[in-house]
């Protein structure tokens, strides 16, 4: 890990197009400004961790999709053609 000391309004450059600036310092909190191309995603660590956990849960999920049987009546007739649906569409 590279550790750098910076003052307010000083910045570092990552690669050719990512700039990290010190915007403010109050007590033990440092506010950083990050200027990066739109295609580069920038997250706080806790948000990134939550996204990764949700992705892991989704990948492990053994749940099934809802049954499509309820969308169609027996015999292949579309529910959109049923009198009940016509009542709701008028």
Kindly report the pTM of this predicted structure: 0.60
> Phi and psi (nearest 5°) for 74?
-60, 150
Q: What pLDDT sits at residue 58?
A: 86
pLDDT bucket at 4, cuts 50 / 70 / 90: very high
CB 5 within 8 A of CB 30: no
Per-residue pLDDT at 86 exceeds 70: no
CB 28 within 8 A of CB 18: no
CB 19 within 8 A of CB 34: yes
Q: What pLDDT sits at residue 10?
A: 97
Q: What would the two tokens of residue 82 be?
A: 């049923």
């Amino acid at each position: 890990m590279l550790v750098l000391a910076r003052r307010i309004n000083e910045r570092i450059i990552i690669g050719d197009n990512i700039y990290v600036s010190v915007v403010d310092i109050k007590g033990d909190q440092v506010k950083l400004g990050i200027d990066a191309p739109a295609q580069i995603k920038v997250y706080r660590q806790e948000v990134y961790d939550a996204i990764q956990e949700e992705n892991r849960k989704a990948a492990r999920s053994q749940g099934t999709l809802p049954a499509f049987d309820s969308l169609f009546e027996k015999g292949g007739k579309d529910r959109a053609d049923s009198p009940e649906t016509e009542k709701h569409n008028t």
